[in-house]
Amino acid sequence: MSKRESDEVTGVETTGHEWDGIRELDNPLPRWWLWVWYLSIAAAAVYWVLMPAWPGISGYTKGVLGQSDRVAVAGELAALKTVRGAQGAQLATASLEEIERDPQLLAYAQAVGQSVFGDNCATCHGTGGTGAKGYANLRDDVWLWGGKLEDIHHTIQVGIRSNHEAARQSQMPAFGRDQMLTASQISDLTEYVVALSRRPADRAAVARAAPIYQAQCIACHGPTGQGDQALGAPNLTDQEWLYGSSREDIHGQIWNGRGGVMPSWQSRFDPATLKALAVYIHSDAAGQ
């Protein structure tokens, strides 16, 4: 240790260390500071007794207060269930329209619906519900099987081409793959469908395809191509295309006649959840 020396002005001893010409006076710490330190140690000891503190080999000290975050969380979850019970029961008894008319119940149904949608429907329809090629967009105003609240509720319940006995069923024939039409006929039909949606098309091909459309397509898609929601037949005159709008996409759909599958959710969810889901999709969708 270096030699102790005193500061000239105050007469107090310095610590003897020097940093760039600065030396520190060796004044004693105030006694109260010591007491605060003792108190902190005492507080820690009290904490060990009251709260879980020390790990052991087969467990840990529980503390006399019996504090446990796991128990607290379980209690809070149980309390949440009781709180939700009342509104959940309301959801089960109210009709779909009643839910949409009551702003509080609507907000609750939307919240339930959104979380159920995120866990179950977003896989195909996307987290925003806008779908993708081959998966329906639930945010727009185009509905193959009807966009009314009751229609949506039913679709969710039974699914589309699912194994449910009342499932929504329809079949677009695979005109090319099953050799019902020739390649050139399908090319002409493609031009006809393009023309239906009011886009420029090869007039000669459209004229050639008119009788084929009358013979093959009119039963489902209607004479003017408006489709039929009862059959799940898409409207060919609008600007929404489940399998794409390019000539290649349309050609491919006529050739292969694809039809998607949606599972039935009736066995998976209780009636209140199904209602909430239907209300969530309907209230956030455009139109109808």
Partner 1 sequence: MTVVIDRTHSTPPDPKGSGPVSAAARARSSNKPPSGGLYKARAAIYPKLVHGRWRAIKWALMILMLGIYYVTPWIRWDRPGSLPDQAVLVDFTGRRFYFFDIQLWPQEVHFITGLLVMAALALFLVSALFGRLWCGYACPQTVWTDLFIYVERMFEGDRNARMRLDAAPWSFNKLWRKVGKHITWLAIGFSTGGAWIFYFHDAPTLLSDFWIGHGPMTGYLFAGLLTFTTYVFAGAMREQVCIYMCPWPRIQGAMLDSHSLQVTYRYDRGEPRGAHKKGSDWTGRGDCVDCKQCVTACPMGIDIRDGAQLECINCGLCIDACDEIMIKVGRPKALIAYDTDAAVEARAAGKPAVYKLVRSRTMFYAVALSIVSALMIWGLTHRSSLDLHVLHDRNPVFVRLHDGAVRNGYTLKIANRSFHDVEAIVAFEGAKGSILKTPGAKATGETITVSVPANGVEAVRVFVSLPSDSLTATNLPGAFIVRTPAETARVKTTFLSGAANPR
Residues with Cβ within 8 Å of 102's Cβ and at least 6 positions away in sequence, in order, are 94
What is the footprint of partner 1 within residues 105-134 (CB under 8 A)? 106, 110, 126-130, 133
Residue of 91, 116, 136, 142 interacting with partner 1 (CB under 8 A): 142
Residue 178 beta carbon to partner 1: minimum distance, rounded to whole angstroms: 27
Return the exposure string of 61-75: e unless at least 16 CB atoms fall within 10 Å of the residue's CB, then b: eebeeeeeeeeeeee
Supply the minimum distance, in Å, between the C-beta of residue 170 and partner 1. Answer: 19
Told to check if 3 binds partner 1 by CB under 8 A, we report no
What is the rounded CA–CA span in Å between residue 217 and residue 227? Answer: 10
Residue 66 falls in which region: left (phi positive, over 0), alpha (psi -120 to 50) or beta: left
Q: Which two tokens stand for residue 273?
A: 């959840």
CA distance 139 to 106: 17
Which of 195, 194, 288, 173 lies closest to 250 in space, CA to CA? 194
Q: Which of 16, 17, 23, 46 binds partner 1 (CB under 8 A)?
A: 23
Q: How far is CA 106 from the centre of its chain?
A: 18
Q: Which is nearer to partner 1, 164 or 247 (CB)?
A: 247
DSSP bridge pairs for 233: 228
Shortest distance, CB of residue 281 to partner 1, whole angstroms? 11
**Applying CB under 8 A, does 253 fall inside the site for partner 1?**
no
Nearest partner of 187 among 208, 172, 171, judged by Cα: 208
Q: Is 239 in the site for partner 1 (CB under 8 A)?
A: yes
Rg of the chain taking only CA atoms, in angstroms: 36
Nearer to partner 1, 167 or 243 (CB): 243
Q: How far is the CB of 130 from partner 1 (least distance, A)?
A: 4
By CB under 8 A, residue 178 contacts partner 1: no
Q: Is 59 in the site for partner 1 (CB under 8 A)?
A: no
Least CB distance to partner 1 at residue 18 (A)? 8
Q: How far is the CB of 27 from partner 1 (least distance, A)?
A: 5
31 vs 70 by CB, closer to partner 1 = 31
- Yes or no: say if 52 and 60 are a contact pair by the CB < 8 Å rule: yes
What one-letter code names the amino acid at 92? A
Q: What is the DSSP letter of 5?
A: -
Rounded to a whole number of angstroms, the minimum distance from the CB of residue 218 to partner 1 is 21
Question: Does residue number 200 form part of the binding site for partner 1 (CB under 8 A)?
Answer: no
Which residues are near partner 1 by CB under 8 A? 7, 9-14, 18, 21-25, 27-34, 100-101, 103, 106, 110, 126-130, 133, 137, 139-142, 235, 238-241, 244-245, 279, 283-284, 286-287
